[in-house]
Structure 1
């Protein structure tokens, strides 16, 4: 009901015949002892509280506009160690983003979309453009989706306190550009089985490292900031399979292979089993396994050679396995959960609520817990 009260003032202002709104609250907490800020040792404690609002407004029978805004507030014990004398700018920070876009079905089987947005935080600002196109067969059994995006980031570099003003605190650029192409082909194989093949190609250039991540070397006391190549290619390929086991259970299977020119290869396997307990209640247990090799230039604390061209002690780029297990609960009665009159001929309906929780554990000792609450609303015109 809290979600309903928060979203209603925004919805009441819209004049569209039907508006879809999703309101998401998310909490994430983690801890570990391999912080990149302190060279691969030290606390990774972090708490993140996020909220998102997504609004889709039909303009007519074939087009609509959408808005998406995201705000998260986090506190990080590891980034507080950028500076030991005062609280670092990144210990407690706020990240905010906004996106606006347009969708249109220009034929019954062809659609396109365009959007633009941006995000900001203490030490960076980003803007981006996105576009998409999809085509379906006349029987809707085959669908091809193509998408492209471009991100343009600018950093305000923050360096560790002990190397500020030295030759070890130098970067060649504060810009980072990222470009991505993706393709998804979906096929309905029979009444019970649907499969999708996914492919992405990502290219990044500019400042790819983080200026406040320390790296310690063999027989050296003074650290340097981590150093990456100035470009990176990523090329993941995935397969998604949905199989209807019965009227009560659907199996959702997903596999992805990932590789990049940093030397990392990775495999992801995910299974989710939505179970229809009743017509209005669905339980969705899920499990994800992930494994990756290390980047060519990763090494733990004080294990790098001073002559190395590139170096990092960020354990996100180490070799590890991880497990994520959780449960989703979706509650959506046929006529909605609650309704509220907005005007003479409009009402707001809380259509459904989804609660998801998960536990995450990585082979290097990192553990995390996350929980999210998603509220789905509709603004409807009352029948005449």
Structure 2
């Protein structure tokens, strides 16, 4: 009996030891997994943008391009668990535009003039956007999947989009490859210049606009106008990325992007004036001979690269270059440099410079130089040949300990930036941006 009891006790001890040993071995193989996002983060972004110029596409390549825009955006990133993050991005942009006000230049009390803003309904608009994205990271953080959906809307335009991406890290996370794709389904609610509307389903030259105003120049005003039959536009994009740590202080990346667009790629309210048609005016405003007509398909390709060099604890150099071309005849080059200067652990300065130039689209000509016999034509100077320079300066404040608080959120960083952009045409613009990042305690 004693021997049997000893054997039972021995068996229990051996079993217990084996179980504990096995558990210990299993636990020793577990790797600590850091959460992708430790806590909820909230970004508040805002900007104030203003521009000027004398080549408004709304008035056929002549006239004021004055515009101001105020934008506010909130981005909330929520960790669902160790591996998954949900991000909600909501934004509103409100603008007033002397240029777009001249879609209806005869609404105001003063004489119509392409260089004077009209008081019509088209002088302002509000754009809204909502994007939701979801990302999942593998346990070893070497594989990242993401998906997103978005909607945006303004007075004459609505867009819905979906997209996704996959990123793979390997070589001890020194190498990264990625692929992403997006689809956007857009719909116009076409708005045409005021003087063209009576010539489709209206009484033409007998409309009150013409009978109550004096047409100077060519009194036999007869525009070439037919509304667009298709008011939809689809855009498909596919992008590939490659990033490599070349040295402990140097990182490089390459990107290749393809975009295919189909549908209404013309802007319905942008006028065109023909060289072979006599000019007609009401007051000081030239009446449209037609609206912009562009092909219903466009294929774009962009290839670029970045090289970031960490010089020391104070200076970093970030460079970028991109070459772009499309089947409308545009070729462009973009080059930029930014040199972050870390003054202290909390403050960093961001001086930057960007250069851009492009060739003109096959269908572009300035005001009164397009021909009525052409299939496609535009006087939008965004599609012209030009060069541009942009100078920027920013300052960033970072508080890794988030000493400042608003309710349950600590202030993590503040970013302020200013950019001045000038083309070798008459166009120039400036923008001030501000960003505030908060983290939940």
Q: Secondary structure of the residue that 2:101 maps to in structure 1?
A: helix
Distance 2:366 2:74 in 1: 40
Aligned length: 360
Question: Residues 337 and 226 (structure 1 numbering): CA distance in 2 closer, same or farther, change over 3 Å?
Answer: farther
1:119 aligns with 2:174: no
* Match of residue 254, structure 2, among 197, 214, 218: 197
RMSD: 1.3
User: How far off its partner does 1:64 sit?
Assistant: 1.2
Which residue in 2 is equivalent to 1:326?
392
* Match of residue 92, structure 1, among 124, 127, 134: 124
User: How far off its partner does 1:337 sit?
Assistant: 4.9
Which residue in 1 is equivalent to 2:298?
232
* Match of residue 59, structure 1, among 71, 74, 80: 80
User: How far off its partner does 1:339 sit?
Assistant: 1.6
Listed one character per residue, the Cα deviations across residues 7-36 of structure 1 (whole Å, up to 9, x for unaligned) are xxxxxxxxx971011110100000000000
Deviates more, 1:312-321 or 1:87-96: 87-96
1:41 aligns with 2:62: yes
Contact preservation (8 Å) 1:348, 1:379: yes
Distance 1:219 1:134 in 2: 55
Q: Secondary structure of the residue that 1:90 maps to in structure 2?
A: helix
Which residue in 2 is equivalent to 1:186?
243
Listed one character per residue, the Cα deviations across residues 55-103 of structure 1 (whole Å, up to 9, x for unaligned) are 1100110011110011000000011111123344331100000011111
Q: Secondary structure of the residue that 1:159 maps to in structure 2?
A: coil
Listed one character per residue, the Cα deviations across residues 147-198 of structure 1 (whole Å, up to 9, x for unaligned) are 1000000000000011114260411200000000011100001101100001
Distance 1:56 1:306 in 2: 53
1:75 aligns with 2:96: yes
Q: Mapping of 1:1-384 within 5 angstroms? A: 18-86=39-107, 87-108=119-140, 109-166=142-199, 168-220=225-277, 221=279, 222-340=288-406, 342=407, 347-380=408-441
Which structure: greater helix fraction? Answer: 2
Distance 1:175 1:54 in 2: 29
Distance 1:139 1:179 in 2: 33
Contact preservation (8 Å) 2:399, 2:411: no
User: How far off its partner does 1:145 sit?
Assistant: 1.3
Q: Which runs of 4+ in 1 moved over 4 A?
A: none
Q: Secondary structure of the residue that 1:164 maps to in structure 2?
A: helix
Q: What is the TM-score normalised by the length of structure 2?
A: 0.80
Distance 1:74 1:198 in 2: 33
Distance 2:268 2:73 in 1: 29
Distance 1:52 1:297 in 2: 36
Q: Secondary structure of the residue that 1:235 maps to in structure 2?
A: strand
Q: What is the TM-score normalised by the length of structure 1?
A: 0.92
Q: Which has the larger radius of gyration?
A: 2
Contact preservation (8 Å) 2:64, 2:98: yes
Which residue in 1 is equivalent to 2:23?
none
